[in-house]
Amino acid sequence: MFFIFGSPRSGTTLLAQCLNAHPDVIVPHETDFIIPSAFVFDRVTDPALRAVILKPLITGSQGFTMGLGEYLSADEVCSIVDRHSGSLAELLTAIYGALTERAVAKLAGDKSPNDLLFLRMLLKLGGIPKDAKVIHLVRDVRAVVTSIAAHKLAPGIERVFARLWCSSNLLLYDELNGTAQYQLIRYEDFVREPTRSLGMLCKHLQISTASISKMLDPDRRHPRYRGWSNHARLYDPITLQEDHSCRDAHVIALCERQAAEALAVFGYDGHSPRSRPTPRQPQPGALSRALRFLALSPGGKR
């Protein structure tokens, strides 16, 4: 399996749909069970009791019908949970393995923006299987906050969101950068050169690059998002499009102050999202180091 990690409004849905258009790949609608399941694994040590809790949690979640439930029945998922409640990595491998088989694909992926914000729990539990690939999609936080504000997704969050963006993206980068599991991609590079970016991701996932034209075809994207105002451009050809009308100088200044470290690490320091500087090596700050320490401390004990 593979994960697409990225903050909300970073292009994760577009990227997931491009990958889903590959004949060897299946990416369901974003799930909402991984992080809640992680907390169950962290707090409940008895595998049998875990299974009792996890079955209704996964199959009764708001996102089940549109997500996993489009391919696997509730009974099938419950059977998987009964047999694979020993570890979170084991459970995810089994669920996405069944999804791959049902979709007659070779690889299944998960795309859930909220997972990045709770990454510490996944790392603490070893919830990212060792053989799972990770795609880390990063977009300039100034553009992210502008998009959140434009769509009125969380009024007021622009005052603090850059802190979350900074810490969560740095944590993933610090933990996995340089490993065979990990591939960083910037949204701005993806939409500017989609063919090149998708070719790189195909190689990372070890799937054929012969289907890139299909991956770029808007008509091959799942119709479930048609009519969604926050995905209005999903069915257009990929281009670098930004809405500057909602930009607020005060909010942008807040972003630059709150996320200075990550803006530098990911190559946005002092540049607009349209530029293409070479990302510098990270110099993790106290917050990033603290999050990593907590993630690697079993049970939160030191």
Q: Give the integer Cα–Cα distance in Å for 21 and 242.
A: 24
H or E element, residue 290:
helix 286-295
In the predicted structure, residue 152 carries a pLDDT above the cut 80: no
H or E element, residue 205:
helix 194-205
Residue 275 has phi, psi (to 5 degrees) of: -85, 170
pLDDT of residue 112: 87
**Do 71 and 89 form a contact (C-beta atoms < 8 A)?**
no
Q: Encoding tokens for residue 70?
A: 């489009």
Q: Give the integer Cα–Cα distance in Å for 137 and 8.
A: 10
pLDDT of residue 275: 38
- Smallest CA-to-CA distance from 153 within 165, 164, 142, 161 is with 161
Strand partners, 137: 185
**Do 182 and 129 form a contact (C-beta atoms < 8 A)?**
no
Per-residue pLDDT tens for 113-132?
789 999 999 999 999 999 99
Q: Give the integer Cα–Cα distance in Å for 35 and 68.
A: 15
pLDDT of residue 298: 42
Domains recognised in the chain with CATH numbers: 2-226+234-300 (3.40.50.300)
Average pLDDT of the residues of the chain: 87
- Smallest CA-to-CA distance from 63 within 26, 30, 102, 34 is with 30
At position 67, the amino acid (one-letter code) is G
Q: The pTM is what? A: 0.86
pLDDT of residue 299: 43
Residue for token pair 């002092």: 270
Q: Give the integer Cα–Cα distance in Å for 48 and 50.
A: 5
